[in-house]
Amino acid sequence: MSGSLGIKIGSAGFATAADAVSATAGGSGRCAPRLRTTQHQATLIMTQGMAPILSPLDSDARQVHPGLVVSGFVDRVGDPIDLIAADGSAHRPEDLVARAVQYLTRYSAGAFTGPPAIAATYPSHWKTPGVQALRSALDRMDMTSVTLVDEVGSILARVESTRGLPPDGTVVLYDLGANGLSISVARGTEQIGSTVRSAEFGGAHIDDAILRHVLEGLGGELEDVDLADPALLAPLSELRLRCRQAKETLSAETAAVVEVELGHLRHDVRLVRSELEDLIREQVVGSAGLVREALHTNEIDTREMRAVVLAGGAAATPLVAEILSAEFQVTVIGEPDPVLTSATGAALLARSSASTTTSVVVPPPSISAPKPASEPQASEPPPAAVASKPPVVVVPPKSVALGAIGGGEKVGRRPRKRTILAAGTIVAALAAAIVGFVVIGVPKTQPTPAVNEQVHVPTQPAATTTPHSYPTRRVS
C-alpha cells in the first residue's frame, strides 16, 4: 500500500487528506508520512465528452470551465426524487456524489506511487437509506474499494490520535458545518445512540449575518444602488464570499476588511471580532440547548460529560469554544483546521483498516438509475460493506433558541428600517439564487429538487484587475 486517502463529503464542500508514504534516504525501507489536504466546493461542472469536475474552493464555477453547473446534491442523497438540472436532465443525487468522489480520487492520484486505501466519510445526520444509496452508486461506478465511514468515527479517531480523548465518561461531538449543527455523543471513539441535528444554525447563517451587517452599516449610501438589479447578482455573490472569508480570518485575527463593490459604490468595511461575536452570540448560546437535547435523547446525564470535540469549519470561531467551555465546565478539543478533521480521520481509518462499528451488507437500492447526460455506467458489482450507523433525531427549530441572526437594531445608533428591510430581502434572494431551489410538483413531505444553471463561458482567460484602495470604515 502506497498510503491512504481520506475524503470528506460535506453538504457545502468536499475535502481530501492524502497520507502518502515514501522510503527514507539511504534505502532503509522505513516510511515517513506526508499529509496533503485539498478543499473543493460541492459544485459539479459537467461538460459533454469530459468527466465531471468539482469547482475549486473560493472560485466561481462559471469561470472554471464551460458546462452544466450542478450543486445542492449532497443533502439530497437518499431522496427518491431526481435532481433536475437546467438542461432538463435528471440525476440521482447519490450518483453525483459518487462522481465527485471519483473525481477526487483521480485528482489525488499524483500523491501516491500506487493505489492507496480510500475511505470516504458521510455526514453523521444521514439516514441509513442515504448511506445505502451512495454505497450502491459507488459500486456501480466501479469504486468498490472506497470504504464508507461515519463522520463521527473519523473525527474521533483523528482527535484520539493527535490530542487524546478522556479515558472515561462521555464526549460530545459538536459539528458546526455550513448548513447546520449536528450533535453526537460518544464514549472513546464509539458513538452512543443517535445524532441530533438542527438546520437553524451553521456557517452559511453566519455568512448571511455578516453580509446583512455590512449592507445595513452602509446606510444611506445604498439608496442610489438598486440591489434588485440582476446585474448585481454576481457582485453580491462575490461580496458574500468575502464575508465568509472575513469570518475565517476572524477565527485567528481580531479584525478583517470586507471590500464592497456594488455598482458605483466602493468601500473597504472593517469588521472586528467583537462585532461578529455580537451577531452570533445568541445563536451559539442557544446551541448549548441542542447539546442538552442530544444528551437527554441518548439518556446521558450532563454530569457524565468530560469534553466537547469541535468539528466543521464554522466551529473555528473562538466564541464557540468559549461559550461551550463556560456552559458545561469541560475541556473543549479542536483541531487547528476543524473543516479537515473528518478527512484526516478518514485517511487514518483507511490506513489502519480500523472501525469501531459493525459492517453490514448493503443491498442495491430499489430506485431506478437516473439518465444523466454523461458516460454510461458500468454494470453493478456485488454489493460492498458499509459501516452501520445510529438513527438521526431532527430537532424542530423551537428546541434551540436560534433567533434571527444579525438583526438591524444591532447596527448603528438609530434604526434604518428601509436599509434593514432591503438588506434582509437581498440576502434571502441571494441565497435562493446561489442554491437555485424551486418546487416542481413535489409533495411537501419531500425535499425540493434543485434546478441548476447551464453556463457557457468563453475559453480565454479573464482579464486581470488592478487592486483599488477604498475608504475604510468601521460598521458601528
- Name which residue leads in pLDDT, 198 or 453: 198
Structure pTM? 0.74
Lowest mean pLDDT among 13-27, 202-216, 307-321, 347-361: 347-361
pLDDT tens for each residue of 412-424 = 333 444 445 555 5
* Distance in angstroms (rounded) separating the CA atoms of residues 348 and 232: 45
Domain residue limits, the chain: 3-157+341-390, 164-199+287-339
Is pLDDT of 225 > 60?
A: yes
What is the reported pLDDT for 422? 54
51-60, 152-161, 459-468: lowest mean pLDDT where? Answer: 459-468
Decide which of 3.40.50.300, 3.10.310.10, 3.30.420.40, 3.20.20.10 is the CATH code for 3-157+341-390. 3.30.420.40
Name the strand (E) or helix (H) holding 309.
strand 305-311
In 3D, which of 42, 91, 46, 41 has the Cα closest to residue 66? 46
Burial of residue 164 (number of CB atoms within 10 Å: 0-12, 13-18, 19+): exposed
Quick one: which of 233, 238, 175, 173 has its CA closest to 207? 238
Q: Alpha-carbon distance 273 to 55, whole Å? A: 30
The pLDDT score that the predictor gives to residue 436 is: 40
Distance CA 236, CA 345 (A): 36
Q: Does 164-199+287-339 match 3-157+341-390 at the fold level?
A: yes
User: Does residue 339 register a pLDDT over 50?
Assistant: yes
**pLDDT value at residue 455:** 33
Average pLDDT value over all residues in the chain: 77
How far, in Å, CA of 135 to CA of 129, rounded?
A: 10
What residue spans of 411-476 are helical by DSSP H? 417-435
**Statement: residue 446 has pLDDT above 60:** no
CATH number for the domain whose boundaries are 164-199+287-339 = 3.30.420.40
The two most distant CA atoms of the chain are separated, in Å, by 72
pLDDT tens digits for range 62-108: 555 577 889 999 999 999 999 998 888 999 999 999 999 999 999 99
Model confidence at 219: pLDDT above 70: yes
User: What pLDDT, on the 0 to 100 scale, is given for residue 425?
Assistant: 56
Strand, helix or coil for residue 431: helix
Which of these, 402, 178, 122, lies nearest to 290 by C-alpha position? Answer: 402
